Structure 1
Amino acid sequence: MSEPDNPVHPRTLGSGSAAAASGEDGQDIAALAKGGRTNFFGFLLRLAARIPFLFIAGRLYGAEELGRFASALVVIELTALMCSMGEKRGLAQRLANSEARPANTVFDAILLATIFGTLAALFFWFVPAPMFPSGEYSLIDQMLVLAIPAYALTEIVLAAQAYRYDIATTVRARAIVEPWAISIGAGAFYFIAPEDGLSLAYILSIYAGLLTGLWPFLRTYGLPKAWTPQLRAMGKMTMRALPLATADAIEWGTRRIDIFILGLFAAPAAVGVYYVAQQVASLPQKLKTSFEPILGPVITKNLKTNNYGAIARQLCQVGFWILAAQAGIALALGIPGEAVMGLVGPNFVGGTAALAFLLMAEVVAATAVVSEAALVYMARVRNLWISIATIGFQAALTVGIMLAVEAYAWPEAYKAAGAGLALMIALGTASLVKAWLLGRLLGHRINNWRWALVYATAPAVAVGYAATFLPEWLELLIGIPAILATYGFVIWHRGFGPEDRVLFRKNIAGGEEAAEAS
């Protein structure tokens, strides 16, 4: 495979050009901050909705049923992501470079996703074994395949809205409608179809999210005009999208292949416990999505003008924001880990070690996340090979740990912890490699680390350790806010400079204030 169009060569901005670009760079930082701030509010809403779902799923359905459900979702969501043809990030570049009517460009992607999603759904309807490795499923469980085309279409319409800097639609769909629909649905369907409630609730949530995204999308773009599907052009589009689609699927798969492998080596109940730990740990991972929709348009705009210095500054800036927030949340959820897992049910406390490793994995992955945001446009094939190597390394490491646990007859809980450890090592390695590659391409170093993170972590750990001596309900009610408050106070005063605090300013639509902050 060859590299994509727009080959990139290292370039260092001169002082004059840097000064000329500073105002525009400040506007980009302001746009990133505004989009991230909007989606961070969505993260808080998603957190509020995720906890009821985990509580309902753990207490009503139990670890075994949750494990079967989790195994099916790995296949469903991975397939749907592939069917979206990488348009979650690739659509921004196609819209920026296309002279066609924007609605026509988006509907090309919608048609392809519909075709591939429908074919995939038909395949798994007749061959359901990959979704249910335990061999236990019902007719309604099979209907999960209906979510594949809807999930893929949702990715595309939300990416189209993000290109217009409309992040609020993503927040409504992903942070309000989908999580609350699955939480309410799981509770209601338990009394109607207790063995199939989770599957029905998931299908409901995916289609509710799609409708939430479609309405503003049609108002923004309208319907296509003078649009005729061109099979040859669509074939070229498919081939060009494959590296990006595969990279997206692999990046997503690194957070799911552990569940798949665990399902092969452990009982469904152990998979269910690990799934809950993963859902809790994925909360800080959602922070990257606070900036991901807006990073694409900003990066593609600067690539058109070869403004590599601005890209490096923006990625380092956003990378630190993500890293700082993820570290704080990881501390708040990890230190009282037993109480957090016990909230779902007493049978889930054994997943505390897995939760700790998964939370650390999200922290070390922050650099890879921001680096890949640019690599998918600048070196998509090399980025793809790094991603393939990462998931291969993770899979081999996970399998090795599973075999070791069985060989030494260690407790079943060690398998879940080992899967989290393998993910942490793999993502940390990927961060180092991708940051190094992007630094070479841009001619500027990519580094999100600041020593202020250590200064903020130390007192937060002390406060959290003291909170573990409280009763569990007080540990959650008082300990988590105390950890966040301590960490936040120190990181604000020791780690955040004027350019960082732009994230918390509301009136920064790209004016003078944004330029000054940059």
Structure 2
Amino acid sequence: MGEAESKISNLGSISQGAGIHILGHMVKTVLTLVTTVILTRTLGASLYGIYAYLLLTLPLCLIFINLGANNSLLRFIPKFGESNDKSQAFVTLSATISLIMSVVVGVLLFIFAPTLSELTIDESLFSKTLRILALMLPFYGLTNIGASVFKSIEKLHYTILVKSISRPLFRLCFVGGAVLLGFSIIGATIGLVLSSIGTLLVAVFLLSKSTHFSKVKTPTKSDVVSYLKFSIPLTFNQMGSLLYKRTDIFMIGLFLSSAAVGVYQISITLAGFLALPLTAFNQLFPPIASRLYSNGRLSELEDLYEIVTLWIFTICLFPTILLVINAEEVLEIFGDGFSDGVWVVTLISLAQLANAAVGASGYLLMMTDHQYIVTLNQVVSGVANVVLNYILILEMGLIGGAVATATVISSINIARVVQVWYLEDIFPYNLNYIKPVIAGGAAAVILFLLGFKLSGLQLLVLSLILGGSTYLGIIIMLLSDDEIEPIKQIIAE
């Protein structure tokens, strides 16, 4: 296969993965939105804040449970192949580590739940829910291992089935159902445990039926050393990532109120949807990048990175404009009191656009064996976010958290692009970025004009239809034949 055919094939694989991820995420969004509306309208901002803070505890626990397993599997399984005994040994190793660490972390969480509650949301209910949450950690950790295995062998549809369909569906049934039946926040937390068990059962079934990883293979000492040399730095990387992504809401719980946590969580969740294009294209970019880099096909890797980055930015730009201009109308969907998060939505949305504009730069650094640079990035940005949030939340309240986090997200993404350029001589930008900017400007004018005449749901619907049509129409008009041809070939395949 020639380089041109290989590039189209890889773009096709990444695009197909992105499409599957977006479809799955649409299902996840609907299920999560229904669950969230049930919780916010039934529990109110204060109790929902406890639930939101509880969910934020899970990523922190997962870092110590999985010890970088998700990215390590993305690196090693594509390198050796699905059927290779080494790949199966790495899966066995990651699952064993996850199970042991989940028990350790769960015990610690159960013991120190009252202390954590006093340091953050000082309410007895939060302490009780933390202790219930400890029970779900083994199931949650192993499920994420399974999802990473599917992703590493490019069977993304199974990852979507587990994380984007099964998990939110079980949460709607068990969490939403518990609240509707009157069991309040305690019932919702028990529902989280039950939904995690159900999701793990789905993952195990799919792994046993559709992969070669149903058998246990004992890793060698060298396998363990290789795995830990890669995974341990990425554990610190994930800790830094969590600090720069979630320090704001942890500190809002520390310095403000559970109601403020609820408002902030809804706001950043809405802005977080803008990361969907980046997340979608990142599903299969890492294993493909790892394979290209391992085979010395660097020019092909650069072309792939350049095209994918432009596509991500183009897809993300209009939704960002739509959400920023209509932030108040969107927040009102969740009930009284949530419109206080307008500026939070605006600032974090712009930061997410900056995140999208650099594409898969973080994964590119990681897959080209610069994991220590990736770790340093995350640790430095995490510490910076802690400092900025501490200062700005005390000075500005809710908005201060958004200012701090948006600043750090934008800065770290600029740093990643510069590092990729310096270390690998790969730069993704060209004059083609002018095209989505022109289309976005035209769409923004239409949305502003609609805002003078309409409001509420009517404004949202017409903004989506008229603004989206304008944006898409101008993009299509400005595309060159060289840009259209790869898209046609991908569709034809």
Q: So what's the TM-score if we normalise by structure 1? A: 0.86
Deviation at 1:141, TM superposition (A): 4.3
Contact 2:85–2:217, Cα closer than 8 Å, also in 1: no
Q: Is 1:486 aligned to residue 470 of structure 2?
A: yes
What CA distance in whole angstroms lies between the structure 2 residues aligned with 1:325 and 1:107? 38
What CA distance in whole angstroms lies between the structure 1 residues aligned with 2:341 and 2:49? 13
What CA distance in whole angstroms lies between the structure 2 residues aligned with 1:166 and 1:160? 9
- Unpaired runs of 5+ residues, structure 2, are none
C-alpha change, 1:207 and 1:226, in structure 2 (3 Å) is: closer
Q: Is 1:30 aligned to residue 12 of structure 2?
A: yes
Aligned to 2:184, the other structure's residue is in SS state: coil
What CA distance in whole angstroms lies between the structure 1 residues aligned with 2:99 and 2:178? 28
2:311 to 321, 342, 364: 321
What CA distance in whole angstroms lies between the structure 2 residues aligned with 1:330 and 1:501? 27
Aligned equivalent of 2:372? 381
Q: State the identity %.
A: 17
Aligned equivalent of 1:257? 247
C-alpha change, 1:296 and 1:125, in structure 2 (3 Å) is: same
Contact 1:37–1:504, Cα closer than 8 Å, also in 2: no
C-alpha change, 1:477 and 1:180, in structure 2 (3 Å) is: farther
What CA distance in whole angstroms lies between the structure 2 residues aligned with 1:297 and 1:48? 29
Contact 2:77–2:153, Cα closer than 8 Å, also in 1: no
Aligned equivalent of 1:459? 442
Aligned equivalent of 2:360? 370
Contact 1:93–1:300, Cα closer than 8 Å, also in 2: yes
C-alpha change, 1:184 and 1:279, in structure 2 (3 Å) is: farther
Q: Is 1:142 aligned to residue 137 of structure 2?
A: no
What CA distance in whole angstroms lies between the structure 2 residues aligned with 1:504 and 1:73? 42
1:476 to 433, 445, 460: 460
Q: How does 1:91-170 map to 2 (within 5 A)?
A: 91-98=73-80, 99-100=84-85, 102-128=87-113, 129-130=115-116, 133-136=120-123, 137=125, 139-170=128-159
Contact 2:324–2:349, Cα closer than 8 Å, also in 1: yes
Aligned equivalent of 2:233? 243
Aligned to 1:322, the other structure's residue is in SS state: helix
Aligned equivalent of 1:180? 169
Contact 1:43–1:175, Cα closer than 8 Å, also in 2: yes
- Unpaired runs of 5+ residues, structure 1, are 1-18, 406-414, 510-518
What CA distance in whole angstroms lies between the structure 2 residues aligned with 1:250 and 1:21? 37
Specify which structure has the higher proportion of helix: 2
Deviation at 1:53, TM superposition (A): 2.3
The worse-fitting range, judged by mean Cα deviation, of 362-371 and 135-144 is 135-144
Deviation at 1:272, TM superposition (A): 0.7
The worse-fitting range, judged by mean Cα deviation, of 87-96 and 355-364 is 87-96
C-alpha change, 1:444 and 1:341, in structure 2 (3 Å) is: same
What CA distance in whole angstroms lies between the structure 1 residues aligned with 2:402 and 2:165? 28
Q: So what's the TM-score if we normalise by structure 2? A: 0.90
What CA distance in whole angstroms lies between the structure 1 residues aligned with 2:473 and 2:94? 45
C-alpha change, 1:367 and 1:331, in structure 2 (3 Å) is: closer
Deviation at 1:58, TM superposition (A): 1.4
Q: Letter of the aligned partner of 2:393 in structure 1?
A: M
Aligned equivalent of 1:403? 394
Q: Could you say what the CA RMSD is over the residues aligned between the two structures, in angstroms?
A: 2.5
Contact 2:147–2:203, Cα closer than 8 Å, also in 1: yes
Q: Aligned pairs, how many?
A: 482
C-alpha change, 1:172 and 1:500, in structure 2 (3 Å) is: farther
C-alpha change, 1:262 and 1:210, in structure 2 (3 Å) is: same
Q: Letter of the aligned partner of 1:354 in structure 2?
A: V
The worse-fitting range, judged by mean Cα deviation, of 329-338 and 232-241 is 232-241
C-alpha change, 1:79 and 1:479, in structure 2 (3 Å) is: same
Aligned equivalent of 1:45? 27
